[in-house]
Structure 1
């Protein structure tokens, strides 16, 4: 049964024993400290005067429940989705480029005693709660929720952000922004 109240804050580390066997929902945004930290990390390569904290956004929706998983013990199942808008340097000219991110994930935290077990050398997921879930490990019931969200956000980022499709980049000789001036080095 879905717990009706939706929470708007969650610590980056969650303890399994603080959850019940029923799903708990969270709708997090930049008001949550660690979500705001993720946004700041996305914009860390910008100069301070290029950042636009009012227009950067991140939404993280999580459904979390504790579950006893046969052969693995108590686990924490985390299903989530995220979407966000932020600025990052253009790969060609370093001007701020508007970027978005979005994605979904399903994960399960099991005890870290399995982390070094041979059966997990090549195992990235396991079947639990009627789904194939990505495996993460908890240490004595302490689950790093932020790490899961961080990983999925950063794996899905555009590796070549452009502020404009027709960006001319920087001059390889003098470093001038060719979008604003022709330094003459291109003719040589």
Structure 2
């Protein structure tokens, strides 16, 4: 969403508040793609915050709440999760100013970093691409439907939460030690006869 900062730029206001939700698939431009197993529903990203004039420097500060859908990493059931994070960006009206900022290396060379800067275009600033990029980098890579999800049976693929599948866990015995297993079987059999 384009935020109108014209009153902030003209000095009529010292802060502009915003509160909106958007669909990340509608964001134009180059931004990071969501992981393949993550889907964000329409209006699944909720943004609220302020753009403020802080002693001549425009800053955009926002809190972002994200609702997303994925699959449990153990049982593959669909799950809906939420997370929040804060975003802070400097807002510039002139693209040439970025080289004068603190993006210099120790030897005075510009390091090319501009990922924390938004630019005003005809009185508007659009932070949605930056927000989508931050969301794609912040989405957890491992989600569970429940903290103690037992997952799937490695043999038959049945959900262990639904009960015992009846598969027996076969213990692999190295052929070199098979003779020792027969000794264990004999000693355990002798103890049962008593």
Whether the TM-score (by the shorter chain) exceeds 0.5 is yes
Asked whether 1:63 is paired with 2:45, we answer no
Q: What residue is the counterpart of 2:119 in the other structure?
A: 138
Residue 28 of structure 1 is matched in structure 2 by 20
Corresponding residue pairs, total: 152
8 A contact 2:38–2:68 mirrored in 1: no
Which deviations, in whole Å up to 9, do the C-alpha atoms of 1:102-140 show, x marking residues without a partner?
Answer: 12222113455467887241767xxxxxxxxx7225386
State the SS of the aligned residue for 2:159: coil
Q: Is the 8 A contact 1:88 1:96 kept in 2?
A: yes
Q: 5+ residue gaps in structure 2?
A: 26-32, 105-109, 171-194
CA distance in 1, matches of 2:68, 2:19: 19
- Cα–Cα, structure 1 residues 185 and 136, in superposed 2: closer, same or farther, change >3 Å? farther
Distance 1:113 1:178 in 2: 60
CA deviation vs aligned residue, 1:51-100 (integer Å, no higher than 9, x gap): 9x69x85431021256896xxxxx75211112244432111122122322
Q: Deviations over 1:38-57 (max 9, x none)?
A: 7xx8797379xxx9x69x85
TM-score by length of 2: 0.54
Query: What TM-score comes out, normalization by structure 1 length?
Result: 0.56
Are the aligned partners of 1:27 and 1:61 in contact in 2 as well (CA < 8 Å)? Answer: yes
**What pairs with 1:51-90 in structure 2 (closer than 5 Å)?**
58-65=45-52, 76-90=58-72
Unmatched tracts of structure 1, length 5 or more: 1-9, 30-34, 70-74, 125-133
Larger Rg: 2
1:7-48 CA distance string (max 9 Å, x none): xxx33xx5765753432111113xxxxx2337xx8797379x
Distance 1:43-1:121 versus aligned 2 partners, 3 A rule: closer
